[in-house]
Amino acid sequence: MKTLRNFTPSWLKTYAFLYVIFLYLPVIFLPIFSVNTSATPKFPLSGFTFKWYGDLTRTPALTDAAWNSLLVGVSASLLSTIFGICAARAITRYRFPGRRTINGLLMAPLVLPEIIVAVSMLLVMLQLGLSLSLITVVFGHVLICIPYSLSVLTSGFEGFDRSLEEASSDLGESAFGTFRRVTLPMVSPAIISSLLVSFTISLDEFIMAFFLTGTEATLPVYIWGQLRFAAKLPGVLALGTLLLAGSIILLTIAEIVRRRASNRTQNMGGMIA
Amino acid sequence: MPERSMIEISRVTRSYGAFKALDETSLTIREGEFFSLLGPSGCGKTTLLRMIAGFDTPTSGSISVDGQPMDGIPANRRPTNMVFQSYAIFPHLNVEQNVCYGLKRLRLGADEEKRRVEEALSQVSLTGLGKRGATELSGGQRQRVALARALVMRPKVLLLDEPLSALDKKLREQMQVELRRLQQAVGITFILVTHDQYEALAMSDRIAVMFGGKIAQVASPKEIYQRPVNCQVADFLGGMNFVKAEIVEENGASMILDTPGFGRVKTDKPAAFVRNGKGATLGIRPERLRVLWDDTTDKYEVAGKVVDRHYFGEITHLVIEIPGFDKPLSVTETNNFGADDIPVGAPIRLAYDPDALVALAD
């Protein structure tokens, strides 16, 4: 028994270690090569430089792409959060036939092959006579972001006691006033979390953006275009590092906000019970 | 106490599909009284309260508050305020912000608002805790905040939905006294929903006992306890001995019943009494029977044998078999005279007050 018990953890530790290396090694190479003086990514490293980062700001196509990504990200996250609020409220507050089915349909883009969805979206946009632009990219991103927004928001809406809204109305507040003074503050952490998560997803998303954009590229599309030129690789690595850092920071904030909110509602729930 | 009516409930029914949560219920609640709706869970008491508050709508019938019909008036425009079972304290606001939540809409000005919040907090003994966060409060404090938040609106009627059920026994008893005192101080009509008969008896001016969507009896605590209209009410309001009796004579407001042990007894006829053959039930509370010690005698006594004994600290419960009775009698006796030492199997004599015998409709 004892030997088995001792053996298992050490074996598990090795496995876990290798697994993490496999997951994160490529991610670690990105920042390492982005500060290497040599233009080709290989060991040994030749020297330390921030030159590639400096070059980024002097590339107009890149700053355009960054601006496009920001526009698309902000619009997509706002829209998917607004739709998410409506859907989450309906799903958590009202009982209606087909409630589960609708929830399932809204969550489906999570598991549908993205390339198929992108091609279908492209067909629909063309059929509708919409010319491809950043706006069509926003439509695509909203579709992808809604499942994430919805799941974050649903847990936010589910977390609080129905009688809080009744109490507000009992104290003379109108339906809209109740939403503004009670519901919104209670779910605001979930809303912030939803905005951050969907912004991050939109920022990194490639397939939809590639199919649905016209002449304006978003950052991932720009990066993909640059990969054909070996000389541009260090710049791509620098840009990739920045995107990676940005995503990690945003998702960390989103998670912290979400946990705080769930702590708050759970504490109250515990006291009630 | 003024006899003006504050709430009129007339022929109110609330059905959910085939199930009637409330069935043709009519009730008048007077201004300034502490009124309790008492009954087991599912009897419709909470449904009735929520309809007065405006969270639920009668399927038929009407409710008026202070002479104003409430049909179609939403909860936020009714002169009622509610203390919720879960308290429903806004967790993102502190105590003060919770209490002045409803005042904000009245635009009273900062000074008046502050004065009324202070007043409400002092009424519930929470002075000085205004800046405390909602999540940092104990159960009892949360209950007080919920009370202050409702009282500060100066409602015509305060509705309390099982407000003490989440508190432990000591705190609950303390709050019963405080709530009663508070109600007398502010003079607002209080309507309390509870399933705890002692709570209702201790606090109310009048009680409505409800079963299965219907009101069985409306009366003062003393009358409800001493003169229940039927076996169901009698049984819900604490212990009761039920003895089968035969109707000898029935005339107007009184009747004469015959039982093997108590003999012929003349009692008031309950309002809800419906004669069903010759049989009826005679009830007597366990504490209205008294053990006769040694050679003492009484004009009204029955004799039997102790078959069981339960010790409860200040009192002892004796179960006594009496020849001729279909069921043994329960007797509650204080332990002053050694009731806790009466051995099981001992012969015993009991005295009773014929006035404590009450005829019950089945």
From first to last of the 273 residues of chain A, give the pLDDT tens digit.
445 555 567 888 889 999 998 888 888 888 887 777 777 777 777 777 777 788 777 778 888 888 899 999 999 999 999 999 989 888 887 778 888 888 888 888 888 888 998 999 899 988 988 888 888 899 999 999 999 999 989 888 887 778 899 999 999 999 899 988 998 888 888 898 899 999 999 988 899 888 888 888 888 898 888 888 777 777 888 888 888 888 889 888 888 887 776 666 554 543 333
Residue in the block written with tokens 């959910």: B16
CA distance A74 to chain B (A): 28
pLDDT at B28: 95
Of B132-141, B241-250, B261-270, B286-295, the one with minimum mean pLDDT is B261-270
Using an 8 Å Cβ cutoff, are A199 and A73 in contact?
yes
Question: Is residue B125 over pLDDT 60?
Answer: yes
d(CA B308, CA B343): 9
First-last CA distance in chain B: 34
Is B57 a residue whose pLDDT tops 50?
yes
Q: Which of B334, B340, B346 is nearest to B309 (CA)?
A: B340
Q: How far is CA A271 from CA A190, A268, B141, in A?
A: 22, 5, 12
Contact between residue B108 and residue B116 where contact means Cβ atoms under 8 Å apart = yes
Q: Are residues B41 and B54 in the same domain?
A: yes
Clarify whether residues B235 and B215 are in a common domain.
Answer: no
Give the per-residue pLDDT at A93: 78
CB nearest B76 (choices: A169, A182, A264): A169
A3 vs B60: which has the higher pLDDT: B60
Contact A212, A137 (CB under 8 A): yes
Does the beta-carbon distance from B82 to A186 stay under 8 Å?
no
| Residue of chain B with shortest Cα separation from A268 | B135
| pLDDT band at residue B80 using 50, 70 and 90 as cut-offs | very high
Whether omega for the bond prior to residue B91 falls within 30 degrees of 0, making it cis, is no
Q: If DSSP codes are grouped into helix, strand and coil, which group holds residue B36?
A: strand
Residues A127-173 have pLDDT tens digits of 988 888 888 899 999 999 999 999 989 888 887 778 899 999 999 99
Q: A5 CA to chain B: closest CA distance, Å? A: 44
Residue B271 has pLDDT above 80, yes or no: no
Number of domains in chain B: 2
Q: Are residues B295 and B218 in the same domain?
A: no
What CA–CA distance (Å, rounded) separates B243 from B106?
59
Distance from CA of A78 to the nearest CA of B (A): 24
pLDDT in tens, B224-249: 999 898 889 999 998 899 988 888 88
| Domain C-terminal end among B166, B195, B226 | B226
Q: Domain of B14: which CATH number?
A: 3.40.50.300
Local confidence band at B147 (pLDDT 50, 70, 90 cut-offs)? very high
Residues from B in contact with A at Cβ < 8 Å: 53-55, 74-77, 80-82, 84-92, 101-102, 105-106, 134-135, 139, 142, 149-150, 153, 166
Radius of gyration of chain B (CA): 24
Q: Shortest Cα distance from A160 to chain B (angstroms)?
A: 10
B239 and B189 fall within a common domain: no
Rounded Cα–Cα distance for residues A105 and A217 (Å): 30
* pLDDT of the residue at A273: 31
**For B306-356, how does the pLDDT look when each residue is reduced to its tens digit (9 = 90+)?**
999 999 988 999 999 988 888 899 999 988 888 888 889 889 999 988 888
For residues B280 and B306, membership in a common domain is answered with: yes
Contacts of B84 in chain A (CB under 8 A): 163, 166-167
Among the partner residues B76, B80, B86, nearest to A161 by beta-carbon distance: B86
B97, B213: one domain: yes
Are the beta carbons of A163 and B86 separated by less than 8 Å? yes
Res. B47: pLDDT tops 80:
yes
CATH of the domain at B244: 2.40.50.100
Q: State both tokens at A183.
A: 């519901």
For residue B272, what pLDDT is reported?
67
Give backbone dihedrals phi and psi of B360, rounded to 5 degrees, phi first: -125, 135
The closest CB to that of B139, out of A171, A185, A271, belongs to: A271
Q: What does pLDDT average to over chain A?
A: 83
Cα Rg for chain A, rounded, in angstroms? 23
How much is the pLDDT for A272?
37
Same domain membership, residue B257 and residue B221: no
CB contact under 8 A, A172 and B139: no
pLDDT value for A28: 83
Q: Say how far apart CA A194 and CA A190 lie, in whole Å.
A: 6
Whole-number pLDDT of residue A270: 38
Q: Is the ipTM of this complex over 0.85?
A: no
B84 and A172: CB-CB below 8 Å? no
- Phi/psi for B353 (5° steps) reads -100, 120
Among B180, B206, B226, residue at a domain's last position: B226
In this structure, the answer to whether residues B36 and B175 fall within a common structural domain is: yes
- Cβ pair A167:B74 closer than 8 A: no
CA distance A139 to B9: 55
- Whether residues B134 and B211 share a domain: the answer is yes
pLDDT at residue B50 is higher than 80:
yes
Quick one: pLDDT at residue B74?
Answer: 92
**Size of chain B in residues:** 362
Q: Give the C-alpha separation, A171 to B100, whole Å.
A: 10
In this structure, are B220 and B235 located in the same domain?
no
User: Same domain, yes or no, for B250 and B327?
Assistant: yes
B86 and B165 housed in the same domain: yes
Residue B201 has pLDDT above 90, yes or no: yes
Q: Please give the pLDDT value at position B336.
A: 82
User: Final residue of a domain: which of B226, B261, B277?
Assistant: B226
Spell out the domains of chain A, with CATH numbers in brackets: 70-272 (1.10.3720.10)
DSSP symbol at A182 = I
The Cα B215–Cα B272 span in angstroms is 12
Q: Which of A171, A173, A272 to probe the B interface (max B CBs under 10 A)?
A: A171
Q: ∠B15-A162-A182 over CA atoms, to 5°?
A: 135
Nearest to A164 among B55, B76, B88 (CB): B88
Q: From CA B310, how far away is CA A14, in angstroms rounded?
A: 66
State the residue range of the domain holding B242: 231-360
- In terms of C-beta density within 10 A (0-12 exposed, 13-18 middle, 19 or more buried), how is residue A38 classed? middle
Residue indicated by tokens 């199930």: B19
A interface residues, B as partner, C-beta within 8 Å: 160-161, 163-164, 166-174, 177, 181-182, 185-186, 264-265, 267-268, 271-272
